[in-house]
Structures are given as structure tokens and as C-alpha cells.
Amino acid sequence: MARKIGLYGVLAYLLFGLFFYWYLFYFADSTLPFEYQGSQADPAVFLNERELFLSEEYSRIRYLLYFLATPFEWIFYLIILLFGLSKAFKEWSEVTAKKKWLQTAIYLIWLSFFSFAAMLPFSYISYYLSKSYHISTQTFASWLKEELIDFWLNYGMTFILVSVLYWLMKKSTKRWWLYAWLLSVPFTLFLTFLQPVVIDPLYNDFYPLKNKELEAEILDMAQKADIPANHVFEVNMSEKTNALNAYVTGIGSNARIVLWDTTLNKLSNEQILFIMAHEMAHYVEKHIYINIATSLTFSLVGMYLTYKLMNWAVVRYGKAFNISAVSDLQSLPLFLMIISMLLFMSGPLSNMISRYQETRADRYAIEMTQNTEAGITTFQELSRAGLSQVNPPFLVKFFIYGHPTMLERISTLEEYKPKVKESEDEGN
């Protein structure tokens, strides 16, 4: 049974990978529809031939890497179960320590180390790819440091979550999923609150915007939008990347508007003000809180489905997986595999919600700045800096894109031009 499950799992993974390789390199067509050719959304208008070629090549490889890495995680956890490694991890932890919490910590060290080692090649390929196409400027030492920070942060949080989760499983075999979700609500809010001031500074240096004239303009916009902001932060990202970005993070008093220094170095003030108006829209329209509520709703459904699927899997494949009960710590790889699969399947819906919010934010920026040309040139520069496809294939957009495509964003701005002109004429 175990051999058959493993064989079918590997075959399914290979077929999955071959399908997306064929789709991305032979079937999918990123050519712009005829009506957009020659417009400002046409990459041939604002990219040279080499940039066009590199953006297509880089995007395809990057997308393929995503579609290979995600299901590989499922295969990894399946192998851990089928080969009895999860059982071995538990036995080693019981031999090493007597206290339950310490046994859990030791089990997790083994599982986390094997998981880190299994996924490290994908992380390195992603880093090497970005470096080869001159998007990343990060040194190998800096990249490895971040990987290790990720490892220990994830290990610490996973230890807390797993300890509580399996305690709940033992206390309530039928309601553990609900109690676990209820406890995740304050934990999620706490992490979101801490993100800007505790977690983010572990990776990068943040400081108030040095350009005080620009900061004054941004804060003036914030005041008009009734945003209680006293500072705009910039982060030193030029040591790691040539890509451009800005974002809003945190909640309550810890909410921050952040600009990458690469954005400050490569864009004009008008373009930066357009980006800031876009980011302010997320605050004004409460997108951060909506996203937290959406995430918690998804996690409630996800925890219930995980509960049902784990019970079914243990009853049907418990012997092959070396799992005697759901509450047995050996079932953790099964739990993580199911969660990963559910996240992948819920991704398209999450992306759709995110794309709607980003579209709203773009329109807010247009109305606030009345500067569609700044928006168009900003999106063109973002495409160039990140070597991103203007019109990605449908399945890529469906599974990966949390933003509208550059084709959609630039064409929307072009359509708004007449409206902006009419508004200016009325004002005169």
C-alpha cells in the first residue's frame, strides 16, 4: 500500500510539472490583444528588444519554479510519512527527553531540518535566477542569513502552534479544530501588530524618509485622506534588489507606510506620490482589516476541512502512514500537507479579492492625484525593474497574481485620461 501511494504521488507530481512546463513554454500566449498593440500598455513601446526577451524568459522560468515547488512540498510530507521518518523523529525525541514539551521541540527540529533541506534547492534556484537576471543584488551570505532567520522564526512559531494544537487534539477529538481557530484569532492580530516593529527589522533597516520635502507632500496627502500618519518610512533594499516596491503594513498605532529606497532612487516625485496615494487607499478602505477578516474566515473553513480530511486519511491510510491516531504527533506531516494543499486551492479566491482591492486602490490614486501619466510611467517602470510580463497567461494570473496585470492597470489609466481631462476643464 505504502509503495503504491508513493508511486502514484511521484507520478502525479511529474505529470503536474510536465503539464505546466508545456503550458508555460509551448501553449500559453502572452501576446497582447490587437486593440492594445501600440498603446502605452504594449511592452514593445517602453521596453527594448533585450528587455522584452528577458522579461518573457525570466517570467516563464519563475512561474515554472513556483508550480514545481508547491506540490514538491506535498510529496516531501508524503515521503516523510510513508518511509516512517515521522515515526523515527518521534522515537528519537522520546529517547532523548522525558518531558512532553521537549519531545515536541526535538521532533520539530528533525522535521524542520529535513523540510528546510528539501526546499532549500528551490529557494537557492529562485535566488540564483533573480541574481542572474540582475533583479537581485543580494550577496549569497545575506541570502543565507535570511534563510536561517526564516528557519528559526518559523521553528519558534511552529513549536508554539503545534504544542497547543496537539494538546487540543488530545483534549477534544471532535472540536479541536474550532478551539484551535479561536486561539488563532488573537495570535494573528498580535503577529500583524508586531510585524512592522519586531519581525520586519530582523531582515532590513527602516528609518524615516530622508527627503523631507517629499515626506511633507506625502503627509499632506495623508492629512487630506484623514490618515493619522506622522512619518513615512524608507527601507534599504538596494543592497538586495533592483525591483521597486511600496506597501502598507501593521495595524493600529503600528501601521506603517513604507517605501523601498530603490523606488526613491528610480522614480520621480510625481510617480512616488501616485504610489503613495495607492498605498493610502489600502488604509482608507480598511483593506488591512478586511484581509485579516478574510484570512480568519478562510482559516476557519480550512481548519474544519483539515479535521475531516485527517480523520478520513488516518482511518483509510493510517497503517501506510504509520499513524495510529490524529492526535499522535506523528500525524503532523499529514496536517501540514493538507494545510498546504488547501492554501494552494484557496489561492485563486484570495487572489481575486486582492486584485479587486488593488484595482480600487489604483482608482483612488487616480482620483487623488489626477495624474494618470505618472501612474502609467510608474507601472511601466515596475515592469522593467521586475522583468514582469505585462499580459501573463491565464493560469498564472489565476493561481499567482494578487495584483491586476500591468496590461489591466495601464489600460485602466489610459481610459481614465479623458475623465481626468474633463475634470480639469470643469475646474477651469
User: Which three cell numbers, joined as nine digits, stand for 428?
Assistant: 477651469
Residue 231 assigned ligand-binding role: no
In this predicted structure, the answer to whether residue 139 has a pLDDT above a threshold of 70 is yes
Q: Is 115 helix (H, G, I), strand (E, B) or coil?
A: helix
The yes-or-no answer on residue 49 being catalytic is: no
pLDDT band at 286 (very low <50, low <70, confident <90, very high): confident
Q: What are phi and psi of 258, to 5 degrees?
A: -125, 135
Q: Is residue 109 a contact partner of residue 347, using CB atoms and an 8 Å limit?
A: no
Q: Is residue 414 a contact partner of residue 376, using CB atoms and an 8 Å limit?
A: yes
- At 419 the pLDDT is 57
The yes-or-no answer on residue 56 being catalytic is: no
Average pLDDT of the chain?
Answer: 89
The residue from 73, 279, 328, 408 that is catalytic is 279
Mean pLDDT of 13-33: 92
pTM check: above 0.75:
yes
Residue 278 assigned ligand-binding role: yes
Residue 134 assigned ligand-binding role: no
The residue from 234, 261, 328, 362 that is catalytic is 362
- Cα 291–Cα 280–Cα 408 angle in degrees, nearest 5: 75
pLDDT band at 107 (very low <50, low <70, confident <90, very high): very high
**Domain ranges (residues) in the chain:** 2-204+286-427
Distance CA(165)–CA(160), nearest Å, equals 9
